[in-house]
Amino acid sequence: MAQALRLLDGSDEIVLDVDVDDEVTLAAGDLSSGLGWTLKPEGLCRDDVCVPVRDRSLVEARAGRVSLAGVAAALDRPLVIDLASGLAAIGPSRASRRQALSGGPLPEMTLPTVDGEPVDLASLHGKKVVVTAFATWCGCRDDLPGWQELQDELGDDVIVIPVALDEDPEEVRPFADKIRMPVLVDREHLMSDRLGLSNVPATVWIDERGHVARPPTVAFGTDTWTDFHGVRSAPHFDAIRAWVQSGEIPEARPNQAAPDDLTDDEESARLWFRIAAHLRRQNKVEEAKDRFARATELAPLDFTVARAAMPLTDRDPFGPDFLTLYDRWQSAGAPFHGLHPDT
Residue 342 lies inside a defined structural domain of this protein: no
Residues 71 and 193 in one domain: no
- From the number of C-beta atoms within 10 Å of its C-beta (0-12, 13-18, 19+), residue 278 rates as buried
With beta carbons less than 8 A apart as the criterion, state whether 66 and 79 touch.
Answer: no
Residues 77 and 185 placed together within one structural domain of the fold: no
Over the chain, what is the mean pLDDT?
94
pLDDT in tens, 232-257: 999 999 999 999 999 999 876 555 55
pTM to 2 decimals? 0.95
Domain boundary, last residue among 23, 55, 90? 90
Asked if the structure places residue 254 within a domain, the reply is no
Q: Is there a single domain that holds both residue 177 and residue 272? A: no
Say which amino acid occupies 138: C
Phi, psi angle pair for 224, to nearest 5°: -55, -40
280, amino acid identity: R
Tell me how many domains the chain contains: 3
147: domain CATH number? 3.40.30.10
Low-confidence ranges of the chain (pLDDT < 70): 252-259
Per-residue model confidence (pLDDT) at position 71: 95
Specify if 85 maps to a domain. yes
Same domain, 67 and 119: no
d(CA 140, CA 165): 12
Q: Are residues 82 and 123 in the same domain?
A: no
Q: What pLDDT does residue 29 have?
A: 87
Among 111, 92, 135, which residue's Cα sits nearest to residue 307?
135
* pLDDT for the residue 58: 85
> Are 65 and 195 contained in the same domain?
no
Look at residue 324 in the predicted model and tell me its pLDDT.
98
Assess whether 272 and 161 both reside in one domain.
no
- Asked if the peptide bond before residue 201 counts as cis, ω within 30 degrees of 0, the response is yes
Residue 145, domain extent: 105-246
The answer to whether residues 134 and 216 belong to one domain is yes
Q: Which of 220, 246, 272 lies at the terminal end of a domain, its last residue?
A: 246
Q: Spell out a b/e string for 3-29, using b for 16 or more CB atoms within 10 Å of the CB, else e.
A: eebbbbbbeeebebebeeeeebbbbbe
Residue 123: per-residue pLDDT: 80
Looking at the fold, whether 112 and 235 belong to one and the same domain comes out as: yes
Q: Is residue 255 in some structural domain? A: no
Other beta carbons less than 10 A from residue 319's beta carbon: 10
The reply to whether 337 falls in a domain is: no
Contact 112, 118 (CB under 8 A): yes
Is 36 part of any domain?
A: yes
